[in-house]
Amino acid sequence: MVRIGVLGLQGAIREHIRSVEAVGAEGIVIKHKEQLDEIDGLILPGGESTTMRRLIDKYEFLEPLVNFGNQGKPIFGTCAGLILLANEIVGQENAHLKLMDMKVERNAFGRQRESFEAELVVKGVADDFEAVFIRAPYIVGVGPEVEVIATYKGNIVAAKQGHYLCSAFHPELTDDHRLTGHFIEMVEESQRPAATV
Ligand code: GLN
């Protein structure tokens, strides 16, 4: 059984643990950087990205998180977690983990659309995924390595780059666990020895 950590500094932590358990993996709340050694994949939850960044700095998580990704271990960022993964944020001088080659805009759907639900096609995952958006960002540009896997009204709302996955919506807030399941498959895949030719 793969062990999935959920960064436990702020945000929708319990909901992700529930979703991870629902697809048959073990969910562990990560509160100390040393715990990163015990897990196979990591979820960066939704919440508030500037608050999360402050706590990441306070608990000296920045470098360990970047190293975790650089070791080839899968990371799934949802909403604020997607913002943490991006290498560029509209209107901000500095980004955070800079692990995915994409530019994101925070609160991109505007005030009128603080939160809403939409049925989306998520490539390789589902044709009818019930996506919950809460003060969501979207992705305004991606580099050549990034695969767009979902859009909503022409805006990119989910993407993949190698062992990184992100969604602007919250896959942990409904009983549709297919996107979490997809991430677990990515983690299992990352553990298989590379095929020799
Ligand atoms: N708007 C939040 C931010 O910028 C993200 C919202 C969310 O994670 N639901 O961090």
pLDDT higher than 90, residue 110? no
Query: Is residue 35 within 8 Å of residue 21, measured between CB atoms?
Result: no
Ligand 1: does its nearest atom lie under 6 Å from the Cβ of 107? Answer: yes
- Cα 147 to averaged position of ligand 1 atoms, centre (Å): 22
Model confidence pLDDT, tens digit, residues 70-93: 999 999 999 999 999 999 999 999
Angle 116-120-125 from CA coordinates, rounded to 5°: 130
- Residue 65's closest CA among 28, 35, 97, 88? 97
Flag whether the ipTM exceeds 0.85.
yes
Choice among 15, 16, 79, 105 that is catalytic:
79
Write down the pTM of the prediction.
Answer: 0.96
Regarding beta strands 115-122 and 126-134, do their DSSP bridges make them parallel or antiparallel, or are they unpaired?
A: antiparallel
Query: What pLDDT, on the 0 to 100 scale, is given for residue 58?
Result: 98
Among 32-36, 187-191, 193-197, the least confident range: 193-197
Residue-range domain boundaries for the chain: 3-191
Model confidence pLDDT, tens digit, residues 119-131: 999 999 999 999 9
Round the CA-based radius of gyration of the chain to a whole number and report it: 15
> 46 CB contacts (<8 Å, ≥6 apart)?
11, 12, 78, 79, 80, 81, 134, 170, 172
Ligand 1: does its nearest atom lie under 6 Å from the Cβ of 121? Answer: no
The CATH number that domain 3-191 falls under is 3.40.50.880
